Amino acid sequence: MRYKRNEAFRYQLNDSLDAIFTLKVEEDTLSSKGHALIYNISPNGLRFRTEYDLPVGDSRLLLQLQFILNGNEIIMPGHITWKKKIGILFEYGFEGKENNEAKQKIINGLKELSRIDNKDTL
């Protein structure tokens, strides 16, 4: 398993974020929408859990995650980098593709979450 624990700006969420995902090969959608929960996030990737056993290691497959962070909809395409079974769920590492708009929305959303968290602890 490959982790980027030292990546700057990885944010552990207090409450998981709901996400919807689809699997694609190039522009062709291969799956109906699935539900996932996001547990930590950075501008370059995230960790999520779902009940679905998704393929790992096929570079042709593109996973597209869609979620709301601080009122902003983010659509983040990318690839699954690792998988781990946890009870009846599967946990995944996800690395986003170059998408500057999504990255900027994530950075802004995480800065706001950090401000809110710091205000709550004072």
Give the Cα separation of 51 and 72 in Å (integer): 25
Q: What is the model's pLDDT at position 2?
A: 44
Number of domains in the chain: 1
Distances (CA, A) of 69 to 1, 19, 28, 51, 73: 27, 10, 27, 22, 7
Residue 65 forms part of a structural domain: yes
More confident residue, 104 or 114: 104
Residue 111 forms part of a structural domain: yes
The CATH number linked to 62 is: 2.40.10.220
Stretch 100-113: mean pLDDT: 88
Residues found in the chain = 122
Beta-strand (E) ranges in the chain? 11-25, 28-29, 34-42, 45-50, 61-69, 72-86, 89-96
Residue 6 forms part of a structural domain: no
Q: What is the model's pLDDT at position 92?
A: 97
Q: What is the model's pLDDT at position 89?
A: 97
Res. 116: pLDDT tops 60: yes
Residue 45 forms part of a structural domain: yes
The least confident of 15-19, 53-57, 89-93 is 53-57
Residue 1 forms part of a structural domain: no
pLDDT interval class at 121 (50, 70, 90): low
- Note the pLDDT tens digit of each residue in 57-89: 888 889 999 999 988 999 999 999 999 999 999
| Residue 19 exposed, middle or buried by CB count within 10 Å (0-12, 13-18, 19+) | buried
- H/E/C letters for each residue in 88-102? CEEEEEEEECCCHHH
Mean pLDDT (the chain, rounded): 86
Residue 2 forms part of a structural domain: no
Residue 52 forms part of a structural domain: yes
Structural domain harbouring 88 = 11-121
38: CB partners within 8 A, 6+ apart: 13, 16, 17, 18, 19, 46, 47, 48, 65, 67
Token digits of residue 115:
């401000």
pLDDT interval class at 1 (50, 70, 90): very low
Residue 62 forms part of a structural domain: yes
